[in-house]
Amino acid sequence: MYVKAHVGLLDIVLCAFLGLLVVTPFADGFDPSGFAVGAVFCGFAEVFVSIRHRLSLKCSKCGFDPIVYRRSHDDAARLVREHAKARAENPQSLLAEPVRPVKYRAKRRPDDTQQV
């Protein structure tokens, strides 16, 4: 899963530098229009990073998608059922690791601990 959902400051600086590198040979030296080209590169980078992050959210084992779940619980449940049905019909899934639900432990606050 990709943790990075948006471009960061370093990415913006690198896009601006890349824009300057692209424009410099055509402008016979430093030209501020390279920053505009860098802004276009930064826009493309943001689109690709957000698409990559969005595609990595869906669980490959059970088919759960949290973004669909936020929109409609019923649609998310339907997608999980369809994924389970497709997995049951696929002979390759018999060789795959079984789907086990994640077990979460209850969070404990420091004042909940028992002192002896």
pLDDT of 22 > 90? The answer is yes
Q: Is residue 113 part of a domain?
A: no
At 107 the three-state DSSP class reads coil
Q: Is residue 107 part of a domain?
A: no
- Mean pLDDT across the chain, nearest whole number? 84
Would you say 80 and 62 are in contact if contact means Cβ atoms under 8 Å apart?
A: yes
pLDDT band at 78 (very low <50, low <70, confident <90, very high): very high
Q: Are residues 43 and 71 in the same domain?
A: no
The token pair at 50 is 């957000």
**Domain coverage including residue 30:** 9-56
CB atoms near residue 25 (< 10 Å)? 8
pLDDT band at 46 (very low <50, low <70, confident <90, very high): very high
CB atoms near residue 95 (< 10 Å)? 7
Number of domains in the chain: 2
Give the range with max mean pLDDT: 64-68, 88-92, 97-101: 64-68
Angle at 50 between CA 45 and CA 54, to 5 degrees: 150
What pLDDT is stored for residue 95 in this prediction?
77
Q: Is residue 77 part of a domain?
A: yes
The residue-averaged pLDDT of 59-85 equals: 88
pLDDT band at 13 (very low <50, low <70, confident <90, very high): very high
Q: Are residues 17 and 47 in the same domain?
A: yes
Q: Are residues 52 and 65 in the same domain?
A: no
Q: Are residues 13 and 49 in the same domain?
A: yes
pLDDT of 3 > 80? The answer is no
